[in-house]
Structure 1
């Protein structure tokens, strides 16, 4: 199982991560920042969010 962590202070709301996440667990909140909006346990650990985010907001760890 994997856990994705988002540093929302670094997020500028570009939505690249939400568009790219193959598990569909990332989305944009009303404040314009990304967050885990789906089931966190559905994270596949692919690190697409890490590779896509221009602001290095993401960390994926195996738990």
Structure 2
């Protein structure tokens, strides 16, 4: 199981991670990316981490 975290201070709201997430668990809330779906659906693919230009996304294996 994986847990995605998005640092709101680093997020500039570009939406790249939201568009790239194959699990569809990320969304835009108040112009910032957030986990809006079930965290348990995260596949641990790190697409969000690689795609984010501001290094706001991080992934942790639980």
TM-score normalised by L of structure 1: 0.96
Give the Å deviation of 1:39. 0.4
Task: Report the secondary structure of 2:5's partner residue.
Answer: strand
Unaligned runs of 5+ in 2: none
Root-mean-square deviation over aligned CA pairs: 0.5
Give the Å deviation of 1:43. 0.4
Aligned residues: 62
Unaligned runs of 5+ in 1: none
1:1-26 per-residue CA deviation (whole Å, 9 max, x = no partner) reads 00001101110000000000000000
TM-score normalised by L of structure 2: 0.97
